Each structure stands twice: as C-alpha cells, then as structure tokens.
Structure 1
C-alpha cells in the first residue's frame, strides 16, 4: 500500500483529517516521484543487459543448474522469470512501496519453485546476481533507492 493510500486509510479509519506528518510524507513522496520514475526508466531500458549479465554471473557461481544445461526451454523460462522480477521491482520503485513485490512476487513463489524442483537457494543466488549487476549501473544514491527492493525479494525467497 503506497504512502498515500496508507495515510488516507489511517485517517479515514480514525475519522480525521490527514495530520501534518502525513501531509509532509505525501509531499516528500511526490517530490521524489521524478527520481523514482527516472530509476524505473533506467532499469526498464537496461533490462536485457541486467538479465544477460546477471545470468552469466549466476552461472559462474552455480554452473550446475537447469537453466545452464543447454536446454533452451529451461533457459528461456529462467530469463522470463528474472525479467518478471525486474519488472516487479520497477513497479515497487514507482509506487515507493513493497506492495507489488509482496502481492505478486513473494506469495506462493516458494511453493511454485519447489513444485518445479528448482532449489530456492539457486533462485535466491540468481536474485543476488541481478541485484549486483543492477546496482553496478546506478549511482550510489540510486542504488540506495533500489537495493531495499531486491533485499525484500531475496529475504522473501529464502528457504
């Protein structure tokens, strides 16, 4: 739930106007909006590079994994899933909240990967690799904005 939705829901539940702290938080959210959109654009424009470089890094760390067997179907599925997570992270950045990751990226993901017999340790390591290559292409300030979303995703996938 975004800061705006959360603030309004809290005030409405308590049958009151937004307080000064809530209004300031919303103002800060809006003022940071251009920056969040710029970061999301960087990730979107570099998705292919992030996926390719992240996968290469992952395969060096975990060479014995289904996505590295030469099976094009496994590789395509792996890359598709990685792109899906990068996209969810861009959504979270834009709204300034973990909700897109929480609702779509975490719930049920463990069961799905386990049912496909994909070790969660591999999925977690792959997300770490994607995080590393993503943060390498960003300024320190932008990386500080993006890192917590990857961290939330990684923590949520841990076995």
Structure 2
C-alpha cells in the first residue's frame, strides 16, 4: 500500500493535469450535447406547432391522415379534369369563316360560310347566301371532316381550313 502511495505522491501533478484534461473534454461534450438538444427542441417545436399536449405518434398519425385526405382530393380533381377534357373534345374547337360575294349583281361580301368542328372534325358548316331579293341559310353536318352533302367551293375551303387547325 505504501508503494502505491509513494507512486501517487510523485505523479500528483500528472494526475491533476490528466483529470483536468478529461474534465475539459467532458465540458466540451456537454456544451455540444446542449447545442444538439437545443436544435432538436427547435425542430420538435416546429413539428408540433399549433398542437398542445400530443405526443409525437399522434402528430405523425394526424399528418398522415392529412396526406391521405389531400391524396383523395387530388384524385378527385384529376378525375374532374379528365371529365372536362373528354367534354372539351366534343366542343367546337376548330372554326373557320369565309365571306364572299355569291352573285355578281350584289355588292359587297355579304354571303358567308362558317365551319364549326370539334377535335374529331365533327360539326357543321353554316352557309348564308345573300341575294338582292332574299337570303337563305343552310346547315350541313360534317362527320370526321366529310360531308354527306355536296359542298360549294367556299364550303370546301372553310372545311379544309378548319380541319387543318390543330389545338393542344
């Protein structure tokens, strides 16, 4: 026992310096851990903002429920958009108009032909012929860019102009 005491007496300074270094290292580690806990506390407060007295599991379940609700809403919106796009295909999208003089004895371009077509080139051609004593309007159905009735040159022109329009 005396030998240990004698050994300790000669090394007291080294032991004190060693323990001081260990205490300094532990103090640095303590400060580092305090910072980490502070950052973690800040993140936790951000995560739990607006929610009182709930544990983290309840918060996460609540967020997951909100995500599921948003997914359902997004799916509904997507379905509505698809329905609107399907309906839009049936609307008139391609329109062409041509004014012309149908008769030489009538001044100005008072006659007209209008092609109204949807995405599939289905629709109608409206033609109004203006004469000095009367006016007549005709409607001719169009299926896939083709009329089952004979078309005048002007009607052919507006049909081709409308069919060649591309909308996306």
Same fold (TM over 0.5): no
TM-score range, shorter chain: under 0.3
Q: Which has the higher helix share?
A: 1
| TM, length-normalised to structure 2 | 0.25
Please identify the structure whose Cα radius of gyration is greater: 2
| TM, length-normalised to structure 1 | 0.27
Higher RCO, 1 vs 2 (CA within 8 Å, ≥6 residues apart)? 1
Q: Which has the higher strand share?
A: 2
